[in-house]
Amino acid sequence: MTRLNRRQTMALMGAAGLAPMAPAILRAQDKPAGLPDTMIWSTYDVGSTGYVEATAIADAMIKNYGTRVRLLPSGSGVGRIIPLKQGQANTAWLANELYFATRGIFDFATPEWGPQNMRTICGRPASFGIAVTQESGIETIEDLRGKRVAYAAANPSVAIKVDTMIGSKGLTRDDVEVIEFPSYADTLRALTQGQADAAGGALTAAALTELEASPRGIRWLSFDPNDKQMWENMNKIAPLFSPYRETIGVGVTGKDPVDVVAYKYPMVTVMHDADPEMTYGFLKALDESYPGYKDAAPIMESWGIKQSGTTPMDAPFHEGAIRYLQEIGQWTDEQQAWNDAAVKEIEALIAAWPDFLSENSGLSGDELAAAWDAKRKEITASL
């Protein structure tokens, strides 16, 4: 999760001007069929980019259609998904906890959870890369072998990105020196302090500005969008990422861009059995409302349907969203094939979960999670 500083937060909140439950006001255009009059969206906590982005989009929908929107913030992935699962929220605005929930891993590797049958409506791309110090001499992913790579304890969202990115060239944690730190921010500061050689992070992370200004310097490792084997390797580990040329960030400019990876955050999520009319109407409303929120902050431009309505995602697209994307000519055979494969994977995991629990009833905690992760990988590899 990325957090904004106070000035950025206030600017975006001011641009949106939304109360937690805003009153219906004069509609500027006809409301899409299926879009509810009142909605509840489960989001990241106040101050996060996910919260303020949802705020800006909700405000535009209110102004256009009179739809009342209430944001329900939570600081944990489980806390954001529970209202959706229990039918208390229409959508949940999620990050990689969606991947974890649909695969039943990490916080969801418990008898009470297991794989969840969820779908996406849309989600904007966010860039992520591996930063290294210039003094380290590291220029490629292969150069990370034997080097100190910073990981944040109990932060699987960042860890899965780093694991997948080093795995693109066949490396695992066994091939690098893993250095653990208490938090994500600490992993980035470790580069400046000389405690690590590499760390995964958002290219706009404020903690990296000190590294850029320090004698150690900063470099982002490149992920060639034309290296098919690299991307195939990544997709085998976690099919979440796509090539992305970033022009904004620490040590990055429009004149000096860098090829990194994109994942989706936040992703507007529903359960698989959500009303197709609602998901169709929501995506149409989000698309039509784009002029009303795209200028709220530079990051909002990425919500344009050509970027936010594309695969891959952490879960398959919902059928109602697909119908809208087909209607506007933005759903390809390739995307359908990706979606079909994602549905097949999740449904296979869900089908295997009850027998797995029965066969491993004596396990709990980390043992159960480890056994399921092995079973999950076996199932996925067989598809």
Give the chain's length.
383
Say whether both 252 and 277 belong to one domain: no
Domain count of the fold of the chain? 2
> Which residues are 198's β-sheet partners?
132, 149
| Other beta carbons less than 10 A from residue 159's beta carbon | 19
Q: Model pTM?
A: 0.88
Burial 210-242 (b: 16+ CB within 10 A, else e): bbbebebebbbbebeeeeeebbebbbebbbbbb
Reported as a single tens digit per residue, the pLDDT across 90-141 is 999 999 999 999 999 999 999 999 999 999 999 999 999 999 999 999 999 9
Provide the pLDDT for residue 25. Answer: 43
Q: What is the mean pLDDT of the chain?
A: 91
Reported as a single tens digit per residue, the pLDDT across 231-285 is 999 988 998 999 999 998 999 988 889 999 999 999 999 999 999 999 999 999 9
Say whether both 153 and 111 belong to one domain: no
Provide the pLDDT for residue 248. Answer: 87
Provide the pLDDT for residue 2. Answer: 46
CA-CA distance, 330 to 341, in Å (whole number)? 19
Q: Which has more pLDDT, 143 or 11?
A: 143
Say whether both 297 and 205 belong to one domain: no
Say whether both 166 and 103 belong to one domain: no
With a CB cutoff of 8 Å and minimum separation 6, the contacts of 246 are 127, 129, 203, 252, 257, 258, 259, 260
Residue 180 has pLDDT above 90, yes or no: yes
Looking at 196, 229, 262, the residue that finishes a domain is 262
Residue 161 has pLDDT above 70, yes or no: yes
Say whether both 253 and 276 belong to one domain: no
| CATH assignment of the domain containing 145 | 3.40.190.10
Q: Is residue 210 part of a domain?
A: yes
Say whether both 296 and 323 belong to one domain: yes
Looking at 233, 262, 291, the residue that finishes a domain is 262
Provide the pLDDT for residue 8. Answer: 46
Say whether both 95 and 174 belong to one domain: no
Q: Is there a contact between 121 and 339 (Cβ–Cβ < 8 Å)?
A: no
Percent of residues, the chain, with pLDDT higher than 90:
84
> Which residues are 246's β-sheet partners?
258
Reported as a single tens digit per residue, the pLDDT across 8-48 is 444 444 444 443 444 444 444 689 999 999 999 999 988 88
Say whether both 82 and 63 belong to one domain: yes
Reported as a single tens digit per residue, the pLDDT across 125-137 is 999 999 999 999 9
Say whether both 243 and 338 belong to one domain: no
Say whether both 238 and 139 belong to one domain: yes
Q: Is there a contact between 8 and 56 (Cβ–Cβ < 8 Å)?
A: no
Q: Is residue 363 part of a domain?
A: no
Q: Is residue 349 part of a domain?
A: no
Q: Is residue 25 part of a domain?
A: yes
Percent of residues, the chain, with pLDDT higher than 70:
92
Q: Is residue 63 part of a domain?
A: yes
What is the domain range of residue 209?
127-262
Say whether both 67 and 166 belong to one domain: no
Residue 201 has pLDDT above 60, yes or no: yes
313: left (phi over 0), alpha (psi -120 to 50) or beta: beta
Provide the pLDDT for residue 217. Answer: 95
Q: Is there a contact between 300 and 126 (Cβ–Cβ < 8 Å)?
A: no
- Paired sense of beta strands 118-133 and 218-220, if any: antiparallel
Q: Is residue 374 part of a domain?
A: no
Reported as a single tens digit per residue, the pLDDT across 214-228 is 999 999 999 999 999
| Maximum average pLDDT range among 147-156, 291-300, 345-354, 360-369 | 345-354
In angstroms, what CA-CA distances link 16 with 53, 73, 147, 217, 368?
9, 17, 45, 37, 45
CA 65 to chain centre: 28
Say whether both 295 and 324 belong to one domain: yes
Residue 373 has pLDDT above 90, yes or no: yes
Would you place residue 301 in the very low, low, confident or very high pLDDT band (cuts 50, 70, 90)? very high
